[in-house]
């Protein structure tokens, strides 16, 4: 014996404006209450500060706010800049510290530029100047190695129009035939800059 369902159960409704005024008011009230309940749960579970303002079809205003809708709206509209005075003071302190650090860095940079520190004997340089000289020399060494490798590769490649190869064919580069070991080359130095 089959049982007959009395109701259709929970069904998906079409999302479109409700035309029947009575159904519209009932749906608005239920959905508004559900929305406020979910916002309250979000505040409780996550500690979020929430503000919701709803204008009903009947031109009434409903609002929900946690902890207080006025404070959230004031902060949003920046009518009360002292609400986060602690955070503002912290940002200002960080800004001042960064400004002082930048000024000190500018002074140091200008002093180095005035002194021509790279031309002074190594024994007369302070630790910071020595570190800058070391970095500069390492960068120069890398540039020289790259340029030397590039020139060696270009020199080892035969021209594209050479007879043993077909027209336009270029033989592959073979590092063992180049006769150069970029890691073993010292360019007249003993391998140590300092």
Instruction: Please give the chain's pLDDT, 194 residues, in tens.
Output: 566 667 777 888 788 888 888 888 898 999 999 999 999 999 999 988 899 999 988 889 999 998 888 888 887 887 655 556 677 788 888 889 999 998 998 888 777 766 665 666 778 778 888 888 889 889 999 999 999 999 998 888 776 555 554 555 555 555 554 444 444 444 444 545 54
pLDDT at position 88: 74
- Are 81 and 125 in a shared domain? no
- Are 131 and 69 in a shared domain? no
Give the count of domains, the chain: 2
Give me the residues paired with residue 66 across strands.
50
Token representation of residue 85: 């005075």
- Are 58 and 117 in a shared domain? no
- Are 81 and 32 in a shared domain? yes
Is 4 domain-assigned?
Answer: no
- Are 143 and 177 in a shared domain? yes
Question: What's the CA gap between 53 and 59, in Å, rounded?
Answer: 12
Task: Count how many residues are written for the chain.
Answer: 194
pLDDT at position 177: 46
- Are 143 and 176 in a shared domain? yes
Is 15 domain-assigned?
Answer: no
Question: What's the CA gap between 33 and 133, in Å, rounded?
Answer: 70
- Are 118 and 184 in a shared domain? yes
The Cα-based distances of 190 to 83, 185, 187 in angstroms read 66, 10, 8
* Domain housing 135: 106-158+170-189
Domain boundary among 85, 120, 135: 85
């Amino acid at each position: 014996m089959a049982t007959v369902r009395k109701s259709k159960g929970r069904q998906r409704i079409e999302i479109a404006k409700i035309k029947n005024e009575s159904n519209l008011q009932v749906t608005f009230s239920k959905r508004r209450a559900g929305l406020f309940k979910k916002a309250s749960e979000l505040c409780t579970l996550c500690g979020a500060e929430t503000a919701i303002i709803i204008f009903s079809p009947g031109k009434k205003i409903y609002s929900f706010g946690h902890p207080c809708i006025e404070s959230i709206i004031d902060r949003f509209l920046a009518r009360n800049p002292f609400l986060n005075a602690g955070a503002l003071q912290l940002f200002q302190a960080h800004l001042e510290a960064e400004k002082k650090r930048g000024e000190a860095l500018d002074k140091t940079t200008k002093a180095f530029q005035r002194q021509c520190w790279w031309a002074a004997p190594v024994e007369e340089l302070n630790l910071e100047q020595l570190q800058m000289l070391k970095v500069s020399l390492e960068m120069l060494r890398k540039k020289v190695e790259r340029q030397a490798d590039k020139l060696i590769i270009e020199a080892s490649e035969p021209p594209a129009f050479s007879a043993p190869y077909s027209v336009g064919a270029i033989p592959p580069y073979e590092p063992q035939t180049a006769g150069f070991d970029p890691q073993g080359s010292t360019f007249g130095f003993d391998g140590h800059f300092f």
